[in-house]
Amino acid sequence: MASEEYQAPPSKLPRILGAPSAAAVMVGLVIGSGIFRTPSSVALSVGTVGAIGLVWVAGGLLSLFGALVVAELSCLYPEAGGVYVFLREAYGPLPAFLYGWTRLLLLVPASVGAMSLILAAYLQPFLGVSGLDERWIAAMVILLVTALNYRSLLWSSRLENVLSGAKILLLLGLALSLLALGGGSHGAFSEPLHLSPASWSGFGLALVTVMWTYSGWSSVAALAGEVRDPGRNMPRALMWGTGAVLLVYVLINVAYLYVLPLDSLAESTMVAIDAARQAFGGGGASLVGAIVVLATLGAVQAAMMFNPRIFYAMANDGLLYSPIGKVHTRFLTPHLATVFTSILGVVYVSVRSFEQLAQAFILGVWPFHILMVLAVFRLRRTRPDAERPYRTWGFPVVPALFLVASAAMIINALVWETGLTLFGFGLILAGVPFFHLIRRRNLKHV
């Protein structure tokens, strides 16, 4: 049982980030490779133009509802670790450990590995080196980003500010250029705009894919221990970041649909390049390739900023090897946690393809998102007098809507993607005996 008397631990990490930098990390993580690959699978799953727009708006609103909850919890527990800390304080160490365990074995390696492989695929033509294995390029990118985050959070945040700002401007520019020059006479908008999908089960599976593309809205909370005035800046960062992503995603999907017929969109494996070629000719591929490199580099960089903070918090709680919880005496970064995260990404890059990594990632985090949102109800009851600089807007309706939609999404996936969903749940539950082994070991050393 978590203690009802919470006292924030003394921070070993300096509070140097403002709301714009925290929002940039969120945008940098969320807008990665997904928006360049998932629109085709979404179109294939839902089958109508109106339903495509509906599923992207639904995913954005669901992410916004979740971000509003994260804002309250980040103000209540403004320390490194994010969702891990929220679960620990609401339910105790076991659910928190299982979240960290799932990130350790599945979410971090899958996300960092998948994004790095996409970056390597698009970066290779710009390097002018033929025959070099994309896995080597992906591993080198991870190691370079690791070195930067090992050295300085301030340097990392400044780079992320530049990358996130540039990717938003470039994606908005791409969308507006497609709308201005694409000529919509042959695009999907020339077809009937039915809001109903071809099947609602397909809509549910498409929502899972869309939520992978939106994934990362909760992750910036892991940096709350390094954000100045978190009670004021964390809600701003979460709402600014989620709003920016929703705007970009909806607009770019409108542009894809304006340029490409629905059948072409559903069959495309590189929808952004196909749309750019349709609108701009041969030069479109190079333009989109440069945007993908920029967007994916920002996502890898953001992932290497927040993931080590989760492992850092676990190590300080005695649930990982204790040196991982150390702070560099000169650089004031969780340096060993950063190296540990890098190793996970490099190992998975060497043994998995992009498709395997992306499929592994999609459902693993959602049971914990549900627990996190339920934690707001629980903590309002168990800690009613705690200082809350920000309270979830629309409570209890907004978190309740998030819970209903998330439960429906998981049940639908369990019915139609039974093997993949059960694999994710089984991996989570496999952490239970490891938790008890670690706790027993720690008790012996007390």
The pLDDT tens digits for 107-156 are 776 677 777 887 887 787 777 766 667 788 888 999 999 999 999 998 99
Q: What is the extent of the structural domain holding 142?
A: 19-444
Longest Cα–Cα distance in the chain = 73
13: in domain:
no
User: Lowest-pLDDT range, 144-153, 195-204, 271-280, 412-421?
Assistant: 412-421
Is residue 327 predicted with pLDDT exceeding 80?
Answer: yes
Average pLDDT over residues 251-255: 93
314: in domain:
yes
Looking at per-residue pLDDT, the higher value among 12 and 330 belongs to 330
Nearest one of 360, 350, 363, 395 to 377, comparing CA atoms: 395
Kindly list the distances between the CA atom of residue 237 and the CA atoms of 17, 18, 161, 434, in Å, as whole numbers in the listed order: 11, 8, 13, 35
- Contact between 207 and 55 under an 8 Å Cβ cutoff? The reply is yes
DSSP conformation letters of 272-286: HHHHHHHHHTTHHHH
2: in domain:
no
Q: 0.75 cut: is pTM over it?
A: yes
How many Cβ atoms are within 10 Å of 354's Cβ, its own excluded?
21
Give the CATH number for residue 203.
1.20.1740.10
Q: Which tens digits make up the pLDDT trace of 204-221?
A: 888 888 887 888 888 889
User: Lowest-pLDDT range, 185-189, 288-292, 309-313?
Assistant: 185-189
Is residue 202 predicted with pLDDT exceeding 60?
Answer: yes
User: Lowest-pLDDT range, 160-164, 333-337, 410-414?
Assistant: 410-414
5: in domain:
no
- Contact between 165 and 159 under an 8 Å Cβ cutoff? The reply is no
* Banded pLDDT at 197 (limits 50, 70, 90): confident
Kindly list the distances between the CA atom of residue 34 and the CA atoms of 21, 269, 270, in Å, as whole numbers in the listed order: 22, 12, 11
CA atoms within 13 A on the CB side of 295: 27
CA atoms within 13 A on the CB side of 47: 11
4: in domain:
no
- Contact between 154 and 16 under an 8 Å Cβ cutoff? The reply is yes
Q: Which tens digits make up the pLDDT trace of 72-90?
A: 999 999 998 999 999 999 9
- Contact between 64 and 249 under an 8 Å Cβ cutoff? The reply is no
11: in domain:
no
Dist CA 343 CA 355 (whole Å):
20
pLDDT exceeding 70 applies to what percent of the chain? 91
Average pLDDT over residues 189-202: 82
Rounded to a whole number of angstroms, the distance between the first and last alpha carbons of the chain is 20
Looking at per-residue pLDDT, the higher value among 190 and 373 belongs to 373
How many Cβ atoms are within 10 Å of 169's Cβ, its own excluded?
11
Residues making up the chain, counted from first to last? 446
| pLDDT recorded at residue 4 | 46
| pLDDT recorded at residue 371 | 94
Looking at per-residue pLDDT, the higher value among 174 and 106 belongs to 174
Looking at per-residue pLDDT, the higher value among 10 and 169 belongs to 169
**Number of independent structural domains in the chain:** 1
Looking at per-residue pLDDT, the higher value among 71 and 289 belongs to 71
Q: Which tens digits make up the pLDDT trace of 167-186?
A: 999 999 999 999 988 776 67
Is residue 320 predicted with pLDDT exceeding 90?
Answer: no
- Phi, psi angle pair for 361, to nearest 5°: -80, -35
Average pLDDT over residues 258-284: 84
438: in domain:
yes
8: in domain:
no
What is the chain's mean pLDDT, rounded?
A: 85
Dist CA 391 CA 72 (whole Å):
5
